[in-house]
Amino acid sequence: MEYNYPHRKGTVEKCIFCPEHLRVGKLPACAATCKMGAIYFGDQFEDAVSNGKGETIQFTKIAKRGAGIRLMEELGTEPRVYYLPPSSRKYPAPDEKAQAEMAAMSH
């Protein structure tokens, strides 16, 4: 694994977005393993973000939904990580989704 400084066990560190995954064209682990597809990763300038479910959408489209925030933006550091609300505000839990699929198949 790559780190931008020596890694210390038991210390919380800033995320560097899994450069070893990005180098081989994969999503960072957080986006790739999110079962609900809620974490998107991409490039603001390419205007495309993707999630672990293989969905790719325009960054500007989801950013325009409103209510997105950038942490400590008021410090003038122009953070590049956006926290965007879900469009439906509720994602089904993995077991709820499985139950709904099983119910649909039994009818």
Q: Is residue 11 part of a domain?
A: no
Distance of alpha carbon 86 from alpha carbon 68, whole angstroms: 10
Find the range with the poorest average confidence among 5-14, 20-29, 30-39, 92-101.
92-101
pTM: 0.67
pLDDT of residue 44: 85
Q: Is residue 99 part of a domain?
A: yes
Q: Which residue has the higher pLDDT, 67 or 101?
A: 101
Q: Is residue 4 part of a domain?
A: no
Q: Is residue 10 part of a domain?
A: no
pLDDT of residue 74: 92
For the chain, the domain total comes to 1
Distance of alpha carbon 66 from alpha carbon 89, whole angstroms: 13
* pLDDT at position 31 over 90: yes
Domain coverage including residue 71: 19-106
H-helix segments, the chain = 19-22, 29-33, 59-63, 94-106
pLDDT of residue 6: 75
Q: Is residue 43 part of a domain?
A: yes
Q: Is residue 3 part of a domain?
A: no
Query: pLDDT tens digits, residue range 78-100?
Result: 888 888 766 665 656 667 777 87
Question: What's the mean pLDDT in 49-53?
Answer: 93
Q: Is residue 61 part of a domain?
A: yes
Q: Is residue 30 part of a domain?
A: yes
Which residues are paired to 48 by β-bridges?
Answer: 43
